[in-house]
């Protein structure tokens, strides 16, 4: 039974990773425009990558949008969570329903809805012409609910008397908030921010409908390439990004495992 | 004091009103008005190819079959993902804490490779001269024509959304205590009974969450179907996309279709919520 | 009496750490047996071996005459009350209790009848439809008992079942459990680290430490005649001294020879001597066998607890009379109150009450400190 489930897991993970390995392998392939046929080992796509204006600008747009929307969503989401937590039951559940909406609504519907809004607004305010600004607005909107959702449970778990104790010991409400409440919910804020960043980087459907020719994210650029043959520079870039994430995650994982080990030791 | 705290949610409320509620209201508006802003049912009628003058529906011209086709592929994807993910999630949840961390990381990691590139890799895998056919060719089979079929689309969708099934399942299963399983064994339940009477009912919230997280994006996808299905048949997402950014845009019909998609998905989710009676039992959320 | 469960030479280790080391134990039918010991002594592991959740690396488990090493938990006619009850959160009280019978595909009528009987037994009538998450700790405990008993087990295994309850509730449940055991006449194997619980409930107490059984006996035997320093120290308060057995019925400590009731030791064999604090008489200094100076006195309600320094060794003595600190007193010990034990690996590990009194000074002080601060 144990070996059977092990074999099963290995097969599933192998299938899950096979296409990724392919992308990585073909980032070192010298052939161009023949879709995934191996020729020679080469680093040429990595060299060409840093001369490809289209890809580099898409990368910088993607990162800038992700950074801006993460910051804004974290701020908006944290204040929202604290406010919603203080509400009565009815109002709270109404707010949480609104919060859930962008998460369960099909992305394509969210995307076209944004498109309709921005097209209408652009008539009056040129700022809303599809581009960097609209991308940011859209990303902030679909990232914020994840931040709220990560912080709410932390607020629920928090001892209500902590805040009162801080007031009792002479803190102003604001100081009590900064000194007691923020450290308590910080893990939630951080995971929320991390999720927002991931969601923003990963998004395709909503960006597709809200970005204009002036600013395109990587996934939108890749989409326009997938229709014509993909330039292997994209494989090189994806391999680099994947490698970066892999290294970061492995480091975090080692840290967590060490944490567990030391916790176990202390428990003894 | 309390009022002041509540007011902290005001920016969020205003933001969500402008950028969530208003856009959806605009979809509604476009679905039910014509080019002059007059109320009309024409867009909705076009979806069903309903001809008001004749009072009948021309099914072959309608989008109903597209909608049903999308629901069917979404259903297949969800069921297959559930079947594949369930044993995997359970075995992860029973592993030691260290192994769990590593496995969860391994499940999440593929999401960091752009899904379009992964889908493209699958496309070349499944192609007539692809690795899959070369592999089964070694045993004298094939070549299989998978690419540009429904099977290819479902394979791509399952591959893409499998992590969204595994993670909610895992996050619920990990809360099933070892002692609850032992208690069931102790009371005379064999492996199958333990599964049917304890593990399965306790993982229902995770199953429902996973179903939602896989069904919604797979029904409404508009890229994977084009890449793997060879544009032979469109899914509802493809139609909506073409109505907004295609060569002959028709935002009215596109909005009406979006509306139908939205309503269908919320109906499906309402059904799953009916099954889920465990309100007080902690809901298994996706924890990335 | 017949043995219902026999463990023979059981050894278990996890990750190279030995948990049980050659354990032999027989449990009689209808008995209330308690496995008592500090955490990590192997008592829960022993219970889980009987329940079938752990297969021993070595040794045999018998139910009656049948070897059951390989029998899975669901095929054993024993049931367990788990430490945190392990109630099924998705089932209500009725369904929790009915679980075992549902698995065995019993008839609806039989299930209904048994559930009703069991809920009556644990005083939970009228709670059938309640969700288990809405119950208090004590009520959840009762559901766990009813659920296990509904399967009509011949042996009930209880793994620290009362650990999560508060003191008052714990005392009530002790009485109730004992009554249930008596009225049903089935065997209870009870695991606890609470010596008082063990002494007050059991027919037989099994004291364990370091994966081995230290002593098996009735509660009175265990208390009055501990077999080594560990048992003497773990159960109740005790003064453990180094002594020399001069001959049968004569033991020497503090340079004095005392009459005692123990025999069978070698001539001049070094031994451990145990004297319980409540078994010591305080007399005028000149009449005492030993003379000491009081260093500490604490009022305990029914008695005073005093620490007495005798030639540098601090004794604990319980007495109903007040003795001022620094007063000099005499100590007298009756022969039957002296328990002589063979030297063991535990000898010399427990010492006297000197650290106790220092610790106590600190604990007793805050009152005074507070006063000074204000």
Of all residues in chain C, what percent carry a pLDDT higher than 90? 52
Q: Are B168 and B213 in contact (CB under 8 A)?
A: yes
Q: Which of B187, B278, B280 sits opposite C147 (nearest CB)?
A: B187
A109, two tokens: 């519907």
Residues B230-251 pLDDT 10s: 777 889 999 999 999 888 888 8
Q: Are C274 and C240 in contact (CB under 8 A)?
A: yes
Q: How confident is the model at residue C350 (pLDDT cuts 50, 70, 90)?
A: confident
Closest CA to C142 of C184, C100, C180: C180
- Report d(CA B11, CA A141) in Å as an integer: 12
What stretches of C104-166 show up as alpha helix (H) in DSSP?
Answer: 108-121, 137-149
| Residues C80, B183: C-beta atoms closer than 8 Å | yes
pLDDT at C335 over 80: yes
Q: How confident is the model at residue C373 (pLDDT cuts 50, 70, 90)?
A: very low
Fold of A53-230: MetI-like fold (1.10.3720)
Q: Are C206 and C33 in contact (CB under 8 A)?
A: yes
Closest CA to A102 of A244, A206, A237: A206
User: What ipTM was reported for this prediction?
Assistant: 0.86
To the nearest whole angstrom, how far is the Cα of C81 from the nearest Cα of chain B? 8
pLDDT at C203 over 80: yes
Domain annotation for chain C: domains and CATH numbers: 3-224 (3.40.50.300), 229-373 (2.40.50.140)
Residues C61-81 pLDDT 10s: 999 889 999 888 888 889 999
Q: Which residues of C touch B177 (CB under 8 A)?
A: 84, 86
C-alpha distances in Å from residue A177, one per residue of A80, A164, A167: 14, 10, 10
pLDDT at C374 (0 to 100): 33
DSSP B246: S
CA angle A56, A62, A68 (to 5 degrees): 135
Q: Given CB atoms, is B155 within the 8 Å cutoff of chain A? A: no
C103, C134, C156, best to mutate vs chain B, most B CBs in 10 Å = C103
Q: Given CB atoms, is B285 within the 8 Å cutoff of chain A? A: yes
**Exposure string over A147-179, b if 16+ CB within 10 A, otherwise e:** bbbbbbebbeebeeeebeebeeeebeeeebbee
What is the three-class DSSP state of C269? strand
| Residues B197, C99: C-beta atoms closer than 8 Å | yes
Give the position of tokens 């063991």. Answer: C344
Q: How confident is the model at residue C372 (pLDDT cuts 50, 70, 90)?
A: very low
Q: May I ask the CATH class of domain B73-275?
A: mainly alpha
A77, A106, A206, best to mutate vs chain B, most B CBs in 10 Å = A106
Residues in Cβ contact with A161 at an 8 Å cutoff, skipping those fewer than 6 apart: none
To the nearest whole angstrom, how far is the Cα of B54 from the nearest Cα of chain A? 32
| Residues B179, C89: C-beta atoms closer than 8 Å | no
Q: Which residues of C touch B202 (CB under 8 A)?
A: 88-90
pTM of full prediction above 0.95:
no
C5 has which bridge partners? C27, C63
| Residues B22, A241: C-beta atoms closer than 8 Å | no
| Residues A260, B118: C-beta atoms closer than 8 Å | no
To the nearest whole angstrom, how far is the Cα of B140 from the nearest Cα of chain A? 22
- Report d(CA B106, CA C111) in Å as an integer: 46
Give the residue, A38 or C133, on which the prediction is more confident: C133
DSSP B20: I
Which residue of chain A is at minimal alpha-carbon distance from B245?
A209
Q: How many CB atoms lie within 10 A of CB C282?
A: 20
* Cβ pairs A/B, distance under 8 A: 218
C194, two tokens: 């609470």
pLDDT at A34 (0 to 100): 56
- pLDDT tens over chain B, length 288 residues: 566 788 889 999 999 999 999 999 999 999 999 888 888 888 888 887 777 676 666 666 678 888 999 999 999 999 999 999 999 999 999 998 888 988 999 998 888 888 888 888 888 888 877 788 888 888 877 777 888 889 999 999 999 999 999 999 999 999 998 889 999 999 989 889 999 999 999 999 899 999 989 999 999 998 888 888 877 788 999 999 999 988 888 889 999 999 999 998 888 888 877 776 544 333 333 333
- Report d(CA B78, CA A13) in Å as an integer: 19
On average, the pLDDT of chain B sits at 85
| Residues B19, A18: C-beta atoms closer than 8 Å | no
Residues B15-46 pLDDT 10s: 999 999 999 999 999 999 988 888 888 888 88
| Residues B26, A137: C-beta atoms closer than 8 Å | no
Instruction: Enumerate residue ranges in chain A where pLDDT < 50.
Output: none
Of all residues in chain B, what percent carry a pLDDT higher than 90? 45
Q: Which residues of C touch B208 (CB under 8 A)?
A: none
| Residues B118, A19: C-beta atoms closer than 8 Å | yes
| Residues B187, C133: C-beta atoms closer than 8 Å | no
Strands (E), C152-201: 155-159, 187-192
- Report d(CA C306, CA C288) in Å as an integer: 16
- Report d(CA C61, CA A61) in Å as an integer: 69
DSSP string, C306-326: EEEEETTEEEEEEESS---TT
Q: Given CB atoms, is B261 within the 8 Å cutoff of chain A? A: yes
């Amino acid at each position: 039974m144990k070996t059977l489930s092990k074999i099963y897991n290995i097969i599933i993970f192998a299938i899950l990773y096979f296409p990724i390995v392919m992308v990585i392998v073909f980032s070192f392939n010298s052939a161009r425009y023949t879709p995934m046929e191996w020729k020679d080992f080469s680093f040429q796509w990595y060299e060409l990558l840093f001369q490809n204006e289209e890809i580099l600008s898409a990368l910088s747009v993607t990162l800038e949008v992700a950074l801006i929307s993460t910051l804004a969503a974290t701020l908006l989401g944290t204040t929202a969570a604290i406010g919603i937590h203080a509400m009565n039951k009815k109002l709270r559940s109404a707010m949480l329903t609104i919060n859930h909406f962008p998460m369960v609504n099909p992305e394509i519907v969210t995307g076209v809805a944004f498109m309709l809004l921005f097209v209408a607004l652009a008539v009056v305010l040129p700022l809303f012409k599809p581009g960097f600004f609209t991308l940011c607005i859209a990303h902030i909107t679909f990232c914020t609910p994840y931040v709220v959702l990560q912080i709410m449970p932390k607020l629920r778990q928090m001892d209500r008397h902590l805040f009162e104790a801080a007031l009792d010991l002479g803190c102003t409400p604001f100081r009590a908030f900064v000194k007691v409440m923020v450290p308590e919910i910080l893990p939630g804020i951080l995971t929320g921010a991390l999720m927002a960043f991931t969601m923003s980087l990963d998004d395709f459907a909503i960006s597709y409908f809200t970005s204009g020719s002036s600013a395109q994210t990587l996934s939108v650029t890749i989409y326009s390439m997938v229709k014509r043959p993909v330039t292997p520079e994209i494989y090189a870039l994806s391999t680099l990004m994947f490698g970066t994430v892999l290294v970061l995650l492995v480091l975090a994982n080692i840290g967590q495992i060490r944490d567990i080990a030391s916790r176990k030791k202390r428990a003894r | 004091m309390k009022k002041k705290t509540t007011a902290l949610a005001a920016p969020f409320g205003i933001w969500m009103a402008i950028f969530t509620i208003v856009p959806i209201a605009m979809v509604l508006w476009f679905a039910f008005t014509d080019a002059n802003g007059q109320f009309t049912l024409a867009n909705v009628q076009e979806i069903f190819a309903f001809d008001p003058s004749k009072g009948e529906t021309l099914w072959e011209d309608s989008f109903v079959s597209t909608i049903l086709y999308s629901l069917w592929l979404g259903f297949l994807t969800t069921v297959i993902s559930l079947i594949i993910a369930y044993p995997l999630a359970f075995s992860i949840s029973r592993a030691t804490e260290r192994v769990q961390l590593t496995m969860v990381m391994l499940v999440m990691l593929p999401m960091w490779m752009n899904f379009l590139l992964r889908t493209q890799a699958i496309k070349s895998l499944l192609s007539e001269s692809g690795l899959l056919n070369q592999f089964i060719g070694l045993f004298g089979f094939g070549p299989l024509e998978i690419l540009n079929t429904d099977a290819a689309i479902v394979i791509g969708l399952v591959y893409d959304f499998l992590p969204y099934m595994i993670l909610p399942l895992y996050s619920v299963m990990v809360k099933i205590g070892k002692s609850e399983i032992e208690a069931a064994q102790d009371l005379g339940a064999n492996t199958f009974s333990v599964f049917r009477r304890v593990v399965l009912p306790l993982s229902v919230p995770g199953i429902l969450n996973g179903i939602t997280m896989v069904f919604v994006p797979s029904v409404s996808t508009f890229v994977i179907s084009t890449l793997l299905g060879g544009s032979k048949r469109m899914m509802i997402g493809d139609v909506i996309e073409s109505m907004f950014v295609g060569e002959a845009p028709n935002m009215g019909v596109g909005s009406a279709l979006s509306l139908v998609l939205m309503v269908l998905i919320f109906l499906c989710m309402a059904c799953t919520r009916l099954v889920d009676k465990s309100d007080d039992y902690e809901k298994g959320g996706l924890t990335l | 009496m017949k043995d219902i469960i026999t463990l023979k030479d059981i050894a278990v280790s996890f990750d190279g750490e030995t948990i049980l080391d050659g354990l032999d134990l027989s449990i009689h039918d209808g008995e209330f047996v308690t496995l008592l010991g500090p955490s990590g002594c192997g008592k829960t592991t022993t219970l889980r071996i009987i329940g079938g959740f752990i297969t021993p690396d070595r040794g045999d488990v018998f139910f009656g005459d049948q070897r059951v090493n390989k029998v899975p938990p669901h095929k054993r006619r024993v049931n367990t009350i788990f430490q945190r009850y392990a109630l099924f959160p998705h089932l209500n009280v009725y369904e929790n209790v009915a679980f075992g019978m549902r698995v065995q595909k019993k008839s609806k009528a039989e299930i209904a009848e048994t559930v009703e009987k069991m809920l009556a037994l644990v005083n939970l009538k009228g709670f059938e439809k309640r969700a288990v998450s809405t119950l208090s700790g004590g009520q959840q405990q009762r559901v766990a008992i009813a659920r296990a008993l509904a399967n009509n087990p011949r042996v009930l295994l209880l793994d620290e079942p009362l650990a999560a309850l508060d003191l008052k509730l714990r005392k009530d449940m002790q009485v109730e459990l004992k009554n249930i055991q008596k009225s049903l006449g089935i065997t209870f194997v009870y695991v606890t680290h609470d010596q008082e619980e063990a002494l007050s409930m059991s027919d037989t107490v099994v004291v364990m430490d370091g994966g081995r059984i230290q002593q098996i006996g009735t509660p009175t035997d265990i208390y009055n005649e501990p077999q080594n320093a560990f048992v003497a120290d773990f159960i109740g308060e005790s003064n453990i001294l180094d002594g020399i057995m001069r001959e049968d019925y004569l033991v020497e400590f503090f340079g004095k020879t005392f009459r005692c009731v123990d025999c069978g030791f070698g001539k001049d064999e070094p031994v451990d001597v145990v004297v319980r604090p409540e078994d010591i008489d305080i007399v005028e200094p000149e009449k005492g066998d030993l003379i000491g100076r009081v260093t500490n006195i604490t009022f305990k309600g029914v008695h005073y607890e005093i620490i007495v320094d005798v030639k540098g060794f601090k004794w604990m003595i319980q007495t109903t009379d007040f003795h001022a600190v620094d007063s000099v007193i005499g100590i007298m010990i009756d022969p039957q109150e002296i328990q002589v034990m063979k030297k063991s690996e535990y000898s010399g590990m427990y010492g006297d009450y000197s650290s106790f009194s220092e610790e106590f000074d600190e604990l007793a002080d805050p009152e005074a400190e507070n006063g000074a601060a204000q």
